[in-house]
Structure 1
């Protein structure tokens, strides 16, 4: 099946700043449209190279047709940016472009522009789009600031799996969504901003849902990622990355408060800045339970109850086992590899599209992330084949993807999403069932 969403980098509306600052009085070229003002870059790319054009100085005739407009291959381009041909920098100057190209898809010798869904042999592509949260960011920065789960050590990856056995003849439904089985107990996607803390956000998200489900709705907290980011400091790096096993250990042994009590402080890209200090500690109160030793850092909230979980367990990587666990006990946490095209996901059933295979290494970087799987489904393609998928919540806010969620191909370990899946039980006693 051919899938066509773009590849490369996070999209920039950008060179507008450069072009608008160019010298006035450019005569005829003043009329040239600002090809790059909205970050438009043609994936075809080989304009100057195909014509072997690289004119010295400013030569207005050193131009080629470009997507219904004109682009230039003369050295004056270097000062204007907005009307250069896509390969001017690579071919004429031998340097990377001043901003990353947005790739289209090459298929059958034809280039398909970005931001669309195309049909070929009756197979559907997933859709890509431009996310304003990523404007001005390079792929390297996206991987450094928007992910943040450190791949588990070999000893953790070898953690004993709990195998869920399907009863003889047991048939799982073709579609399931946790929010339909447990209305009002499944929380909306979070937003980690430019904090590489998906280790804390996905852990808090899964624990929030599971505490709510296992307390039969008596407790429905949105648990605090900031509590983990600031206080779980043993071999963790806060907004510069962390480990899932350490996060779950902290939730079991120390516990965290709600997000209302200890809200996310956010963190812009300041590598040198100190991490916010821990504002919430807990002490043992018998029978393994904990209580807070401080008031909420947020002065408007008094409820500083500590929420805990039981020991985390790892599921088998068979999709049927993951499905059964999800349907019986609630959303699960999954590790996944994020590639360059995932940042551009807007809708549909995602699978990694290696459109940047021929590009330099800097366009093909990827990193480890963690998300909350909430359900599954399948879609019948027009040619009669069935495409199975997971539904999952990301932590890039509601504007990304399908209202903060995404769908990804199921059953083939796409992007390693089935390789390390964790479940946990909320620690709920009889006393918790009454006073909340």
Structure 2
């Protein structure tokens, strides 16, 4: 969880002005305006709205009449509104000061002449079927920081993106179920998502997550490890950058040739946002040859755990991007890994079926940045909308901890390559020998 205090160049630039204003305010005593909760805390932000700009209103110092009606409240366009808990108008920061707001921009949505804040769920809200809200882990974080610290999968090279697809053919008359969830078919073999924290290491977390489930399934439950992302972050160093990003093909190569231990044996190190650099040195090494379950060459970094078994996989394979092929693979062999593009609104997801809403279109570039991420797809389903249409979705596990989304998971539109989630999907087999099947 990020608890770093907000650091803005803006606060430095205006500190002298605000000290003067604060002294003046101190003499006058606290007013109702000082005690009012910030508009963004009340969930009525409309980052797409133009208020100060429309009225060409920017006032120096404190000017209580430098105000505009705002979604049933009042917002201000004077410098006195410049506080972390802010009653500033939504466009005060960029129009009056030329900087992004000091909190993640939460967008509003215009429909039939009315602006809907996205804190709640509104049917027919610009065709949005998901709920947005603030997450304490991201409070005070800019979009740039979210992309820099919370993703971390480097888009594959063209040669990797063009790797041959393994096509799964549906048999004559074969019909896939309307809904499927891996944890229902393989109870106790599908693992809950971990939290990558302030580490741009989704390349390691999603790889370890898919491998954990696949090893458990393919060993018929004889091995049920939660594999260690830290083992990958610290030890898979060839063309990888640890908590500053990495490649999926490199991660799978390492799991195939070297293998990794369990998360209990090699737990995730704490990652502080301002100190993310090189990963801690590798504490685990495995032999380059051999297959199946075997021991690492050193003891676990966690001195309370003695089981230092190494787990490996077979060569990774790419699936076709047809949704039916992905569904059949998932249902027969277990969860799959998917690349996806993360946009600004995904950080605010709380539930429902996500699809990217380009409400920042036409806004400055810092509001529209996106980055590459990787996740574990675990199932699918569909919902019937109030107008009778059917909305198909994937279910997937993220690596942002259980407080984000739907207990760490999310649903996303299926069959439309939403956010590129169907463009690069990978599967793998756990490397399991007969000796691994004889004992738990």
Query: In structure 2, what is the equivalent of residue 268 of structure 1?
Result: 272
How far has the Cα of 1:72 moved from its partner? Answer: 2.9
Over 3 Å counting, the alpha-carbon distance change for 1:136 and 1:61 in structure 2 is closer
Over 3 Å counting, the alpha-carbon distance change for 1:59 and 1:222 in structure 2 is closer
Please state how far the C-alpha of 1:37 moved relative to its aligned partner.
7.1
Q: Which residue of 2 aligns with 1:390?
A: 394
**Mapping of 1:78-227 within 5 angstroms?**
78=82, 82-120=86-124, 125-227=129-231
- Once the two structures are superposed, residues 307-354 of structure 1 have per-residue CA deviations (whole angstroms, 9 ceiling, x without a partner) of 011111111111111111111111111111111111111111111110
Q: Is the 8 A contact 2:47 2:105 kept in 1?
A: yes
Residue aligning to 1:35: 38
TM superposition score normalised by structure 1: 0.90
Shift of 1:31: 1.2
8 Å CA contact retained: 2:59, 2:66: yes
Match of 1:317 among 308, 316, 321: 321
User: Take 1:13 and 1:354, find their aligned partners in 2: how far apart are those partners?
Assistant: 30
Q: What does the per-residue CA deviation read over 1:59-103, in whole Å, with 9 as the maximum and x for residues that have no partner?
A: 333333334443333344457973433333444444544445422
Give, in angstroms, the shift of residue 174 of structure 1.
0.8
User: Could you tell me how far 1:228 is from its partner in structure 2?
Assistant: 0.5
Partner of 1:3: none
The verdict on how the C-alpha distance between 1:14 and 1:86 changes in structure 2, with shifts beyond 3 A counting, is farther
Match of 2:237 in 1: 233
Tell me if the contact between 2:291 and 2:431 (Cα under 8 Å) persists in the aligned partners: no
Seen in structure 2, the aligned counterparts of structure 1 residues 317 and 57 have a Cα distance that, compared at 3 Å, is closer
Map Cα deviations across residues 132-162 of structure 1 (whole Å, 9 max, x no partner): 1111211111111111111111111111111
Match of 1:405 among 406, 409, 416: 409
Counterpart position of 1:5:
none
Map Cα deviations across residues 382-409 of structure 1 (whole Å, 9 max, x no partner). Answer: 2222111111111111111111111111
Q: Determine the C-alpha separation between the residues in 2 that align with 1:414 and 1:114.
A: 20
Distance in 2 (CA, whole Å) between partners of 1:79 and 1:387 is 42
| Alpha-carbon separation, structure 2, partners of 1:110 and 1:372 | 37
Distance 2:411 2:276 in 1: 36
Partner of 1:279: 283
Instruction: Please say if 1:62 is aligned against 2:63.
Output: no
Taking structure 1 as reference, are residues 301 and 80 closer, same or farther at Cα in structure 2, changes over 3 Å only?
Answer: closer
Structure 1 residues 25 and 121 mapped into 2: Cα distance closer, same or farther (>3 Å)?
closer
Name structure 1 gaps, 5 residues minimum.
1-9
In structure 2, C-alpha distance between the alignment counterparts of 1:295 and 1:152, rounded to whole Å? 34
Distance between the aligned counterparts of 1:157 and 1:269, measured in 2? Answer: 31
CA distance in 2, matches of 1:403, 1:80: 29
Is the 1:123–1:381 Cα contact (8 Å) retained in structure 2?
A: no
Counterparts of 2:151 and 2:275 in 1: how far apart (Å)? 15
Question: 2:26 maps to what in 1?
Answer: 25
| In 2, Cα distance between equivalents of 1:221 and 1:47 | 54
Gaps of 5+ in 2: none
Cα separation, 1, equivalents of 2:98 and 2:239: 43
Matched-pair contact (CA < 8 Å) for 2:196–2:205: yes
The 2-side partners of 1:192 and 1:297 are apart by 19
Q: Could you tell me how far 1:58 is from its partner in structure 2?
A: 3.5
Q: Is the 2:48–2:359 contact (alpha carbons within 8 Å) kept by the matching residues of 1?
A: no
What is the CA RMSD across the aligned residues, in angstroms? 2.8
Deviation at 1:286, TM superposition (A): 4.4
Residue 263 of structure 2 corresponds to which residue in structure 1? 259
- State the secondary structure of the residue aligned to 1:337: strand
Rounded Cα–Cα distance in structure 1 between residues aligned with 2:313 and 2:434: 15
Q: In the aligned structure 2, how far is the partner of 1:272 from the partner of 1:165?
A: 44
Could you tell which deviates more after superposition, 80-89 or 157-166?
Answer: 80-89
Q: Which moved more, 1:292-301 or 1:52-61?
A: 52-61
**Which residue in 1 is equivalent to 2:306?**
302
Deviations 1:91-127 (A, max 9, x none): 4444544445422111222111121111239966211
Kept after mapping to 1: 8 A contact 2:102/2:141: no
State how far apart, in whole Å, the 1-side matches of 2:324 and 2:146 are. 33
Structure 2 length normalisation: TM-score? 0.89
- 2:383 is aligned, of 374, 379, 386, to 379
